[in-house]
């Protein structure tokens, strides 16, 4: 969680400094959801992500150096500089890609689960999406089909209260996305998405259910998007006070630290050691990205097709 | 060689590929219980079971999206779109996901997938069940597009599409399903990206594909008998990647070019070929490039209206006469 937080704070800084091109959508404040869910998965399980995908990618075990290099548009990035922030992916750890289209990953996860079911294997696919995506047809079609076929998939709705700039209540007929599970006769579970332990426990149950062939679960993680929709968003749709209050009361990392110290899970010295390691990893990621070369312009013509190029120009 | 229908040829392709590779499965609406609208899936569930031949909900977005996900996770899906027109319902999946996943992830993903799309005009199906949309996908890098005109190619191209590691859209003209033709015995592939010269000639090149090719061949006979014009006819077979070399070779010989397709002429594949020929080998041309295609209307219902807007044999004949001005 801390690695995601520090990674993103650095990304924010470097984007504003003009070192990172394109758009960046930050995950700050939602770390407990990605980490809680991915902790219930093995490396062989699949995830699909959203346009806010750095957290999921790191939580699934991707290397922060190659993540950072991708955001910088460098040759050493996971997508060789062709994807960037919105299309970060690491197929090596089963992270099948961030998606620039809201809801675009929902059925990809259902399909990965279908492939698992067809080969009678035990992997599970998890789909992360936001509350906004739950208003798209792809969500309703995907949940229905996965339910009918009992696919080993867990649909994880990160209800961060904002669909781009629109608050939940203005665009969504229900207050809890998990209610929608009723329409598809699957369990709808709601947890505090800022409590990593709660997320982990709920995710584990849903994953286990999927592995046993009992079908999908809709897991709603209630969280809050601390940053704007994208870096540079003037955020005229909400007050600074609202955001500060959420951060004060619900910051998932603060909550985790309180629990760790209260339950004596780690000592303060161990925590400081983790903090040092994280700072070091992020600094190294930035150095790696900045020292990596840009791709050769001719590489724009690679990776379109598996072999040969469809060039009739 | 046997004389079998286009529909049976595609069925053979499915049987052979599903026997050869257990990762291959097929899904779509009404394919298992009904055998497909054109009988193209008849009997498959009996041999391969309802897991590998699956009826889906009427949810095109989920069908195509899940096909892509399954492909990413190691399966080889063949997806039936029922009617090509319904690709529109799942267009995000086709243009933003299927076409781009390999590229935008820097080659990490391999996406073997076939999207079968029955297209074209037949029996007064009217505006939402008659379209030929191949030109849309010519404009989107990342897909391959094949479009057979006869049973032998239908089988060979479907098998090649299934074995291709890239996403392939396989257009099959609804009016061709019942048409019979010679199909070789045994395992063979029709290479993706290779056009076929189906009639030799010196006076004009006519490029076509799919069901329109039949009309072009009739036009070529009329031209030979009534006008002493010997047309060379090319069956494009693949829209992406497009075999323009075969077209260039022919045009250099005949010096004239007509392109005929059933899809709407404006913004169609014909315009692309015309542009490529004029960009690259203009100096060989002795006449104007002429395109034949459907009128710029949706396809109407009533038979005389339908016949009026889609191109006919005489339209091809007239186009050739114009190209020979």
Residues B134 and B173: beta-carbon distance below 8 Å: no
- pLDDT value for B315: 98
Using the Cβ of B52 and the Cβ atoms of chain A, whether some distance falls under 8 Å is answered with yes
* pLDDT tens digits, one per residue of B43-64: 999 999 999 999 999 999 999 9
Just list the catalytic residues of B.
129
Q: Report, in angstroms and rounded to the nearest whole number, the Rg of chain A calculated over CA atoms.
A: 19
* pLDDT tens digits, one per residue of A24-80: 999 999 999 999 999 999 999 999 999 999 999 999 999 999 999 999 999 999 999
What is the residue whose two structure tokens read 């070369």?
Answer: A293
CB environment B10-22: b (16+ within 10 A), e (fewer): bbbbbebbbeeee
Q: Chain B: residue nearest A90 by CA? A: B108
Average pLDDT over residues B168-186: 97
Structure tokens at A267: 């000592």
Interatomic CA distance for residues B271 and B180, integer angstroms: 31
Please report residues of B whose CB lies closer than 8 A to that of A114. 66, 69-70, 73, 75
Question: In Å, how far are A54, A78, B233 from A60, measured between CA atoms?
Answer: 10, 14, 55
* pLDDT tens digits, one per residue of B244-291: 999 999 999 999 999 999 999 999 999 999 999 999 999 999 999 999
- pLDDT value for A312: 37
Structure tokens at B259: 């392109």
| Helix or strand (DSSP H, E) at A29 | none
Structure tokens at B199: 């009639």
- The DSSP secondary-structure symbol of B28 reads E
Contact A107 B66 (CB under 8 A): yes
Please report residues of A whose CB lies closer than 8 A to that of B248. none
3-state secondary structure A51-80: CCCHHHHHHCCCCHHHHHHHHCCCCCCCCC
Instruction: With H, G, I as helix, E, B as strand and everything else as coil, classify residue A292.
Output: coil
- pLDDT value for A235: 92
pLDDT(B144) > 90: yes
Write the residue in B57, B74, B144 that is nearest to A145 by C-beta.
B57
Structure tokens at B7: 């529909």
Q: What residues form DSSP beta bridges with A48?
A: A127
In sign, the C-alpha dihedral spanning B280, B282, B283, B285 is positive
* pLDDT tens digits, one per residue of A162-218: 999 999 999 999 999 999 999 999 999 999 999 999 999 999 999 999 999 999 999
Write the residue in A87, A114, A141 that is nearest to B59 by C-beta.
A141
Contact A109 B92 (CB under 8 A): no
Q: Is A212 exposed, middle or buried (0-12, 13-18, 19+ CB in 10 A)?
A: exposed
Residues B207 and B258: beta-carbon distance below 8 Å: yes
Q: Is the ipTM of this complex over 0.90?
A: yes
Q: What residues form DSSP beta bridges with A225?
A: none
Please report residues of A whose CB lies closer than 8 A to that of B105. 78-79, 82-83, 87, 89, 91, 97
- pLDDT value for B297: 96
Average pLDDT over residues B163-192: 97
CB environment B142-153: b (16+ within 10 A), e (fewer): bbbbbbbbbbbb
Residues B55 and B31: beta-carbon distance below 8 Å: yes
Structure tokens at B76: 């080889």
% of chain B at pLDDT higher than 90: 95
Contact B73 A311 (CB under 8 A): no
What is the residue whose two structure tokens read 């584990």?
Answer: A204
How does residue A311 score in pLDDT terms, banded at 50, 70 and 90? very low
Average pLDDT over residues A213-229: 96
Interatomic CA distance for residues A26 and A47, integer angstroms: 18
Using the Cβ of B110 and the Cβ atoms of chain A, whether some distance falls under 8 Å is answered with yes
- pLDDT value for B34: 86
| Helix or strand (DSSP H, E) at A142 | helix A137-148
What is the residue whose two structure tokens read 């910088």?
Answer: A72
* pLDDT tens digits, one per residue of B83-100: 999 999 999 999 999 999
Write the residue in B59, B96, B144 that is nearest to A145 by C-beta.
B59
- The DSSP secondary-structure symbol of B166 reads S
What is the residue whose two structure tokens read 């091809």?
Answer: B316
Contact A108 B107 (CB under 8 A): no
* pLDDT tens digits, one per residue of A4-27: 999 999 999 999 999 999 999 999
Contact A107 B101 (CB under 8 A): no
- The DSSP secondary-structure symbol of A95 reads B
- pLDDT value for A313: 36
Cβ neighbours of residue A287 closer than 8 Å, sequence gap 6 or more: none
- pLDDT value for B57: 96
Compute the mean pLDDT over every residue in chain B, rounded to the nearest whole number: 96
Interatomic CA distance for residues B159 and B38, integer angstroms: 19
């Amino acid at each position: 969680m801390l690695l995601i937080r520090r990674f993103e704070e650095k990304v924010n800084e470097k984007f504003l400094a003009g070192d990172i091109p394109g758009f960046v959508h930050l995950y700050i404040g939602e770390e407990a959801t990605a980490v809680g869910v991915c902790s219930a998965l093995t490396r062989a399980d699949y995830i699909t992500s959203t346009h806010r995908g750095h957290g999921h990618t790191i939580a699934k075990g991707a290397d922060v150096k190659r993540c950072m290099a991708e955001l910088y548009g460098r040759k050493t990035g996971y997508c060789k500089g062709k994807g960037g922030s919105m299309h970060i992916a690491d197929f090596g750890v089963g992270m099948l890609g961030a998606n620039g289209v809201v809801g675009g990953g929902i059925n990809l996860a259902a399909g990965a689960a279908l492939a698992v079911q067809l080969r009678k294997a035990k992997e599970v696919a998890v789909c992360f999406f936001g509350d906004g995506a739950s208003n798209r047809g792809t969500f309703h079609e995907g949940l229905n089909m996965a339910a009918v076929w009992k696919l080993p998939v867990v649909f994880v709705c990160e209800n961060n209260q904002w669909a781009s700039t629109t608050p939940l209540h203005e665009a969504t007929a229900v207050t809890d996305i998990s209610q929608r599970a009723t329409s598809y006769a699957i369990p709808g579970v709601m947890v505090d998405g800022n409590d990593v332990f709660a997320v982990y426990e709920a995710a584990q149950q849903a994953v286990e259910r999927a592995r046993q062939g009992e079908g999908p679960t809709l897991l709603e993680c209630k969280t809050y998007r601390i940053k704007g929709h994208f870096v540079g968003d003037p955020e005229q749709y909400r007050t600074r006070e609202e955001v500060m209050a959420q951060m004060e009361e619900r910051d998932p990392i603060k909550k985790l630290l309180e629990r760790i110290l209260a339950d004596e899970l780690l000592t303060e010295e161990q925590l400081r050691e983790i903090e040092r390691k994280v700072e070091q990893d992020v600094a190294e990621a930035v150095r790696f990205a900045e020292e990596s070369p840009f791709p050769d312009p001719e590489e724009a013509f690679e990776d379109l097709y598996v072999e040969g190029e469809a060039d009739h120009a | 060689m046997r004389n079998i229908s286009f529909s049976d040829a595609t069925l053979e392709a499915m049987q052979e590929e599903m026997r050869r590779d257990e990762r291959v499965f097929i899904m779509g609406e009404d394919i298992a219980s009904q055998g497909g609208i054109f009988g193209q899936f008849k009997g498959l569930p009996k041999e391969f079971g309802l897991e590998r031949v699956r009826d889906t909900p009427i949810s095109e977005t989920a069908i195509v999206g899940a096909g892509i996900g399954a492909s990413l996770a190691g399966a080889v899906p063949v997806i039936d779109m029922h009617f090509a027109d319904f690709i529109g319902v799942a267009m995000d999946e086709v243009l933003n996901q299927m076409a781009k996943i390999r590229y935008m992830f820097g080659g990490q993903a391999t996406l073997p997938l076939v999207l079968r799309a029955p297209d074209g005009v037949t029996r007064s199906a009217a505006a939402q069940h008659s379209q030929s949309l191949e030109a849309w996908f010519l404009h989107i890098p990342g897909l391959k597009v094949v479009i057979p005109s006869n049973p032998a190619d239908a089988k060979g191209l479907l098998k090649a599409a299934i074995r291709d590691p890239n996403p392939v859209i396989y257009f099959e003209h609804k009016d061709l399903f019942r048409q019979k033709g010679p199909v070789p015995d045994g395992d063979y592939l029709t290479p993706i990206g290779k056009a076929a010269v189906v009639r030799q000639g010196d006076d004009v090149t006519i490029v076509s594909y799919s069901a329109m090719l039949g009309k072009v061949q009739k036009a070529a006979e009329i031209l030979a008998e009534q006008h002493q014009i010997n047309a060379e006819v090319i069956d494009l077979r693949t829209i992406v990647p497009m075999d323009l070399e075969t077209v260039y070779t022919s045009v250099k010989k005949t010096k004239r070019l007509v392109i005929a397709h059933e899809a709407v002429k404006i913004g169609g594949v014909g315009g692309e070929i015309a542009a490529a020929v004029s960009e690259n080998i203009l100096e060989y041309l002795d006449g104007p490039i002429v395109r034949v295609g459907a009128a710029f209307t949706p396809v109407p219902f009533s038979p005389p209206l339908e016949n009026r807007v889609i191109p006919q044999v005489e339209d091809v004949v007239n186009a050739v006469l114009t190209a020979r001005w």
